[in-house]
A and B are shown apart, each in its own frame.
Chain A
Amino acid sequence: MGSITFKHVYKQYKGEASPSVNDFNLSVDDGEFLVLVGPSGCGKSTTLRMLAGLEDITQGEIYIDDKFINYTSPKNRDIAMVFQNYALYPNLSVYENMALGLKLRKTAKHDIELRVTRAARILEMAHLLEKKPNQLSGGQKQRVALGRAIVREPKVFLMDEPLSNLDAKLRAQTRAELIKLHSTIRTTTVYVTHDQVEAMTMGTRIVVMKDGIIQQVASPHELYNAPVNLFVAGFIGSPQMNLVKGSITRQDGVNYFVNKRLKLPIPIEHAVYLKNNDFRQRQVVLGIRPEQMTVVTGENRGNEQWTVNAVVELMELMGADTFVYVSLGDNQLIVRMEAHTEVRVGDNVQVQFNMNKSHFFDQNTGGSLRVQGDAGA
């Protein structure tokens, strides 16, 4: 068991104008893999450290399993934490590193041995137990840090950017192992990262934060397909969502997205919520993901109304895909295409928007014009 509840949690550092964590409300279910993601300085690590008991809570309440823990010392919160720089005790062997937490809790010696060997087997590092941390590679250190958390069998795992010191290949590999590990031991995990790919691949739920404020809490799928504001739309997804400023007008019973260069008809299902939000008063931002755009070639004409002229400025071959950067007046948009496209830099091309998958945001508030909970489309 290990559910977590945050109630109106604030963190205000002395001498800073605005709180680092601002009215943080969240419940985490037992067994969940929750990811806190956001740019640096968004308060995600501070939130984690308050949960760990390493930072004081300025205001608000935190509960683990309905137990009020604001004033509980870190060691009595029944949590284990994995740090970015591993934080292995350099003077102790791998075995002792993993055993220390249990030893300090007066666990019986044979029990310690049992748990450490079991964790070492799960993490495939039984052969490393006698080594000292400085004899290990980065990936091995990371395993030991994980092992040290696992042997404690805590209610909650806290992970503070545990993969960011690893190289790209090892990071992807360890990411997969962490997911597998979580599906085996099913301990509630709170994971902090600034990397949206990690967040999307690992989290059962993701909390996007900015300036200490929660922007959106949702599953990876919902976050990607129904971002609640411009920040989330831009932060989640790589390459990022194309954003074009404009307005919406109504003509002959059809809604159009219009700016200096564009006039795109909006499908009828979008029209409902646009109408509910009284779009006519507002300047809007059209958001469309690179994979929902195509460069129109000979036969494949698609919906001609959604097609506009553009110039190819840059192409990035990523292997399986090519990112085509096209310019449309003041806007530069990214189109995700297959690798073997015949488009060349400098070509005048026709670019098509899949308006069925478009998003609309209020230009002033940044909020999505979609009605909350309407995750379809």
Chain B
Amino acid sequence: MAWRSLRKTSLFDVLLIIGLTALALFMLLPIIFIFNHAFKPLNELFLFPPTFFVQHPTTHSFEQLFLKSGGDVVPFTRYLFNSILVTSVTLLLVIVFSSMAAYVIAKKSFPFKSLTMALILVSLMFAPETVQIPRYLIISGIGMSNTYFGHILPYLASPVAVFLLIGFISQIPNELIEAIKLDGASEAGIFRRLILPLSAPAIATISIFTFQGVWSDIETSSLYMQDETMRTLAFYVNSLLSGLHNSVAGQNIAAAAGLLIFMPNLIVFLLFQKKVLATMVHSGVK
């Protein structure tokens, strides 16, 4: 069977497959590199010509990373804790708020509905930099500097998430909502038992990009947090790297920190990837 279908593929298909595989492997290189790099001993890091794969793996770089921060006023684990807390709370709230907003906009009629939609669309068009100053004024004005709210609030209203979910939820047939209404569900019941589970693929997509956005964000830490204990891991790693410049001594620390900040992104993506594919299939069929 496999042979037959292979024989049926044209030369163009074969070339395409080879080309795309090569491209995919090429895109994979930095990821392989970052894994190898983090485990290289110091002498391997500076080999010339540089090696791609690690020969004598060691966790020395990670020890250095933790030791270095151990001497600082704020320990590494504090940044880690901040990041985990901020990212998970933001992610959860973004999912809840975006899906609720999208459900109402997609399935309910209310005054100024199209205006609301238009405003969401317009807010998609702003480059993040343009709102930095007003955002700063608002955050500091209501006294949220140096609190976790300062990290979380700027991310809560996510027009991209709402927009994606509106498209998804509006595809849910109205009859389903009517059926569950007749079955005795309240508005909250409709949302929890029908809308949320049916938009799982879209929520997975949102989770990935929200997670990546918040996890690697340094803006909130550098603008709204003057207190070092309130800053996040991404900020710490970033300042670590920029503090190194081209100094030889810190290269291994940088390599280890780079892997650490990258790992959660990879894990979250792998977790939700199957659902995301379902989103694409879904949007293709319907």
Contacts and interface: CB of A to CB of B under 8 A. Distances in A.
Given A83-B175, A87-B176, A100 B181 contact: no
A54 interface: yes
A54 B180 contact: no
Contacts of A53: 182
A54 B173 CA distance: 14
Interface in A58-90: 74-75, 79-81, 83-85, 87, 89-90
B173 A85 contact: yes
The size bracket of the interface on A is 20 to 34
Contact of A101 (B175, B184, B194, B197): B184
Interface residues of B, number: 16
A75 B182 contact: yes
A75 B179 CA distance: 10
A152 B184 CA distance: 11
A104 interface: yes
A335 interface: no
B189 A104 contact: yes
Nearest to A81: B182
B180 A100 contact: yes
Contacts of A84: 175
A84 B175 CA distance: 9
B138 interface: no
Nearest to A82: B179
Contacts of B180: 89, 100
A192 interface: no
Given A83-B175, A104-B189, A89 B194 contact: yes
B274 to A, nearest CB: 16
B227 interface: no
Contacts of B173: 85, 87
Nearest to B198: A91
Nearest to A158: B182
Interface string B153-181: 00000000000000000000101101111
A288 interface: no
B183 interface: yes
A157 B189 CA distance: 23
Given A75-B182, A87-B179, A105-B184, 8 more contacts: A54-B178, A75-B181, A79-B182, A81-B179, A89-B179, A100-B183, A101-B182, A148-B179
24 contacts: A52-B182, A53-B182, A74-B182, A75-B181, A80-B182, A81-B178, A81-B179, A83-B178, A83-B179, A84-B175, A85-B175, A89-B180, A89-B194, A91-B198, A100-B180, A100-B183, A100-B193, A101-B182, A101-B183, A101-B184, A104-B189, A105-B184, A148-B179, A152-B183
